[in-house]
Structure 1
Amino acid sequence: MNHIKAIAFDLYGTLFDVHSVVDQCDEAYPGRGREISIIWRQKQLEYTWLRSLMDRYVTFEQATEDALRYATRHLKLDLNDRIRTALCNAYLKLQPFPEVPHALSQCRQRGLKLAILSNGSPHSIASVVDSAGLRDCFDHLLSVDPVRIYKPHDRAYDLAETAFGVARGSILFVSSNGWDATGARYFGFPTAWINRGDNTFEEMGQKPDWTLRGLDDLSAVLDNRG
């Protein structure tokens, strides 16, 4: 791993728990929080992919709101303006996974450049990172907004190569999303897949270079023990 000069992290589901909104969903719709969160996240992903295919880009905040509207309508739940605003704002204050702050600190101690490369907008990325007090961990907060297409398109991954100013083979990409790790691997990044839930990796012609149980396992990889 001596050739790795920088690390680009996915944000949603990798560093931050997208289902940390369950409590807010439960508060709005008692007993339905987990169900809402799962459908909300799945539709959020689908809408980014479909909009990329149709070349009909909207901001991540809009895709997130549209997905929430779908989830509540699908579950036959009333979504008024107050609840919609509260739940969308909750997505701007997601909680990091417990091991994340220490793992990022260990990466910094190794002298590596760090970035977030996310489908989120500049506003959403900054809000989530600032809320957790982790802004100082990163050299770059990279949104797909300037290229107006979502990961896993190559133009999205190119943002990290351009920002770091080093060859893609020297940038480790870290994601818990199998589709994202696949796209990054096709682009040419060495890739670590964070598999916290004992999930099955996608069958799309690529495999991650490393499969880790959590971000705290990244240290072993960086020390050539992974």
Structure 2
Amino acid sequence: MTAPQVVVFDVNETLSDMAPLAARFRDVGAPELTDRVWFASLLRDAFALTAAGGTERFATFATAGLRSILAGVPLTRELDAAVEHVMSGFTALDVHPDVPGGVRALKQSGRRLVTLSNGSAGVAERLLSTAGIRDEFEHLLSVEDAGVWKPAPGSYAYAARTCGVQPADMILVAVHPWDIDGANRAGLATAWINRDGRPYPEYFTAPTHTIAELPELADRLAA
């Protein structure tokens, strides 16, 4: 198998550590685990709209979903203020500790690095700039420009066209099994980051590589 030329990174939860958002939900009076229910519901609705042939921006799903899930909750502030408090947390997120070293190792190996997010390119820009690794990336891509959300095949095809390569020349890096499966079916190699030791769902196609931390990937690709 030819080693991939382009490494495509998912952003939300793969590069960014979204755990601090839980504190934002607690701040506004939401019950424990509301952050997880909200994010899962956001993805569910986005995937459903994509399957039906529609599309919408991440921020629209996120904000509308927050309003729905917080409705009826005895909040510590007005609903509009609660939604703003949670959403502003996205601009304060940091990358996972393993990300900077892993990104630099892949770049030093001579590979091209890009992101492909269901969120906005602006969020990725702030995240990577704050981490001091923005310059390692050639493109910060968003499905907002692809017209379909991941894991629809068109999202990965958009990334390949933008980079001027075939899907087989790319490897997707993600923590989400649904993203790994979508990329596999679109013809990309894949690397699943399993930071918490969870089993991989058997109903999805298996990743090309499974790693516990990002720095492992450069060694895998060099082998």
TM over 0.5: yes
1:190 matched residue in structure 2: 189
Query: Which whole-Å CA distance do the structure 1 matches of 2:134 and 2:84 have between them?
Result: 25
How far apart are 1:205 and its partner, in Å? Answer: 5.0
Give the C-alpha shift of residue 208 in structure 1: 0.6
Tell me whether 1:141 sits opposite 2:140 in the alignment.
yes
Name the amino acid aligned to 2:163: F
How far the C-alpha of 1:2 sits from its partner, in A, is 5.5
Amino acid at match of 1:145: E
**1:15 maps onto 2:15 in alignment:** yes
Residue 194 of structure 1: how far off its partner (Å): 0.8
Q: Given the alignment, which residue of 54, 63, 66 partners 2:64?
A: 66
Greater Cα offset, 47-56 or 176-185: 47-56
**Tell me, what secondary structure is at the counterpart of 1:146?**
helix
Question: CA offset at residue 167 of structure 1?
Answer: 1.9
Q: Which runs of 5+ in 2 are unaligned?
A: none
Q: Compared with structure 1, are the counterparts of its residues 133 and 64 closer, same or farther at alpha carbon in structure 2 (3 Å cutoff)?
A: farther
Aligned partner of 2:13: which letter? G
Question: 2:74 and 2:97 mapped to 1: Cα distance?
Answer: 32
Aligned length: 221
Q: Distance in 1 between matches of 2:166 and 2:155?
A: 15
Give 2:38's aligned residue. Answer: 40
TM normalised by structure 2 equals: 0.90
**Which residue number in structure 2 is paired with residue 156 of structure 1?**
155
Write out aligned runs for 1:44-193 (5 A).
44-73=42-71, 76-78=73-75, 80-193=79-192
Identity of aligned residues (%): 26
Aligned to 2:201: 202
Q: Which amino acid aligns with 1:146?
A: D
Structure 1 contact 181–192 (Cα < 8 Å) conserved:
yes
Q: Which amino acid aligns with 1:73?
A: A
Could you say what secondary structure the match of 2:188 adopts?
Answer: coil
For 2:59, the aligned partner's letter is: E
Cα–Cα, structure 1 residues 108 and 47, in superposed 2: closer, same or farther, change >3 Å? same
